[in-house]
A and B are shown apart, each in its own frame.
Chain A
């Protein structure tokens, strides 16, 4: 967000085919977009590919981007539009990758953690518990979420978007956003509780149902 960063102007130039202008936008957004893909795909290589793919797709499609002219709305509009393209790239990758639906947190899980077996790589839950690494536990927990909930959570709690911008990214209503975030958080909470990860021990006494 440097003072020199004039997003509407850069967008306007990009629409006229100015690749250098578009690359300034790329530079500005590559980190958040890469992180979005990284959280969605849990693989640095796949995230890198998806990010690059998304920027190229965005450059090709920018003529169709209808953003606001003014700074505030235009900026939010562009980010949501770009994230939407990035999310699509991630969904494409997930679809290519997935042989079966993501395991649900409702499935039985023990120390060996069936939930982690979604992809046959990555550490087992027991290992996570041993290393007691909050970040990895969170990544595992996120991976266990259905991708729609994961996207909503990543946008909201990792990227810090508000509900209406998330609705723009996902192309759904505010109510759907609210419900996906709610369900995603409930599952994350259950996952982290179940694996004794993260939450202060005073919170770990189970809260009854679910």
Chain B
């Protein structure tokens, strides 16, 4: 009784999988069909994991391991010639107690804030024009592609092309002097916060246009008519209907722009002429001085700050319905 009871449970499942027409012969009854069923069951259990494996491996190799490495290195020690595996908090204490860090963070946040605000206004306006004022789909596509033309060249070239335009004896200053608008060349145009923000806006505006345009294209045109039917004027329609319904696109665009500006170092270096700093530039300098642990600690803090900013944006806007 007890012996049969312990053997019984697997049997119904196994026998259920044996085709009734094939009466199992004596020696296959206990091994082959049972083994096949178990294999099939095991395969069914494994399949989802195998399907998820390629992405998991990619993420582990190229995201998780590098970040963990940075995290580990950020606790190491270093001197002017070596990096010493260790567990010290000096990288963090030096970083967080230095007024330079705080000033640089403030500066980076200022750039990010200004760039965000300006790209938001430009992005919303351009997307609104494309989505609601351009009637023909063909023109919509043409104008949309026109927006992407600057992206046919690299970031660096687009930035550098501002230099001969904005410089002391650049195109803009000479034109203005020739036209008699100014006597002295305008100094603030190049190698200033102005030129840095200008370049950021130039580089990143499209990242705001695209998701907002995408959100706007999903807005049912009948909603605009319903709003007009209810007596809404042009700006009331924008404020009460289009803006709230574009929020997911605005959030996605904001995440792009803010993370790109927060992590940038090359734009600040080129466009400020070395007179301004950002966290990215600070990390780049530390790397060039071989102070890897300090750079790693800086990167960990920057990552945490940016993730907090993204989390804050996602709290304000639910972007799930866009994905």
Chains A and B form a bound pair: no
